[in-house]
Each structure stands twice: as structure tokens, then as C-alpha cells.
Homo-oligomer: A and B are copies of this chain.
Amino acid sequence: MRVWNRQPNVISMFRYKLTIEYDGLRFCGWQRQKAVIPSVQEAIEAALCEVFGYAPLVEGAGRTDSGVHALGQVAHCDLQDSLPEYRIQDALNRFLAPKGASVIAVEAVPSDFHARFSATSRSYVYKICNRRPPTPLSDTRAWHIIQPLNIKAMQEAALALIGTHDFSSFRASACQAPSPIKTLEDFTFTQIGEQITVSIQARSFLHNQVRIMVGTCVKIGLGRWPTTKMQEILEAKNRCQSGLTAPPHGLYLAHVSYES
């Protein structure tokens, strides 16, 4: 393996958009950090280094936490060579597949495309399995909730969060976003038998916002709080008022949209 400097001094660089699926339980999250298991970002950078002999910086659209899965995380990187997209994809997957990640699409994009800053919306899915007995076939892929959930109450409560609000009540203490104002575009609960799927969409989210919103809805769905409590929590602008942070392994970064 040849190792060159990080961003080699060449005139032409070719930007590529990578769409990535991964099993969140096999990584310490998206972002590079000091941990025993690698981050997805590090794994992709390592794969690029194996394939090309240098390690371009990989910038992701969203920083998923440890345990959070992705069906369609998006990242970009700059390569020195213009190569057929399928060749980049296959070469990266040879190194990523054994680690629990897969590049499901590669696309050459203009050099002003930015996975994070060009994104116009992010869609998450949260999966809940609502039944009394254990769930051996989905226990690493959905939140198992034993007590019956009132999906109608959860949906009613969720509607209070749609629109532009100060989401301070749904923000992890570690959140570094400059503003707590976000615009929630979708927060829909769908139930098929014991499987509950929550669809959540916004241009961007605060740290842990999706998981705290889902955790708060679950508390209402269990009947511990009335549906009207959601409006009070929102107005309190205080993390202590909302429910627990839903576990990461039920959450999927499903899709990132860009202006075409």
C-alpha cells in the first residue's frame, strides 16, 4: 500500500457522491472518533486508501450515532482520477462489505456539491416492534416495546411538532448546533400488525432530536402522558421535560435529498 499526503497537490480533482448502507451496530457511529470499533467515515477512508493509495477526506450528510443504521447515508470525496462509477463502487465494497457497510451508489458530481451543506432534506425511519414476546428476528433492527402502544395518541402528539419551532426540549445536552430552531416536515406513524414504522423528515435535525421525539411519543403511546403534553414540552424549551432518548438500533437514516 502506497501512502501519500492527505490531499495531494494536483490540479484536477473529481468529486464523487457516495450513497451508503450500513449496520449501525458494527460501527461507533458515522463520525471519526477515538473508539475501539471504527466509525463508518474511517472505514470508507480506509477503503479509499486501499483502492487509490491515498486517503481523501470523506464528508457525510449526517452524523449518525453509534448503533444507528443507514439505508441511504450520503457522503462525498475528491479523487485524483476520473473513473467509471461502478468500478469505484465495486472496489470500495470489496473492503467495506466484511465490515458491515456497502456503497449502494456512486455518482460523479460537480465540485460544488457538498454532502452536508447541499442537502435539502433528511429522512429517517424509526422501527418499533410492539408485542409481548421477544423478537429474535428483529432484536438488532427495531425497538422492542412490550406494553401496548396507542398509535392514534402518538400520531396526534407528533402533529404538534410539525412546522418551524424551537426544539430545545428535543436536543441532547452535547448538541453543538448554533440554533435550536428547526422545521419538521414529516412525523408519521404507520402500523402493520405489530410493526410500527415512524417516518421523520426535515432539512436538518438537532443532535438526538429524532430519538428524543420518538421516545416522547412512546411515553404518550403508553398512556403515561396525555397527547396535549407534547405542546407543553415543546413550549418548555427544556430537555428535562421530554421523554427518554429512544434506543439507536431502531433508527435508520433512510434518505438524503438534494436539489437536482
Contacts and interface: CB of A to CB of B under 8 A. Distances in A.
Contacts of A134: 93, 96-97, 102
A70 to B, nearest CB: 9
B93 A23 contact: no
Contacts of A101: 136
A137 B137 CA distance: 12
Given A104-B131, A131-B104, A97 B136 contact: yes
Interface residues of A, number: 25
A100 interface: yes
A21 B141 contact: no
A24 to B, nearest CB: 9
B136 A102 contact: yes
Interface of A: 21-23, 26, 69, 71, 86, 89-90, 93, 96-97, 100-104, 131-137, 141
24 contacts: A21-B133, A21-B135, A21-B136, A21-B137, A22-B136, A23-B136, A23-B137, A26-B136, A86-B132, A89-B133, A90-B132, A93-B134, A96-B134, A97-B134, A97-B136, A100-B136, A101-B136, A102-B133, A102-B134, A102-B135, A103-B133, A104-B131, A104-B133, A137-B141
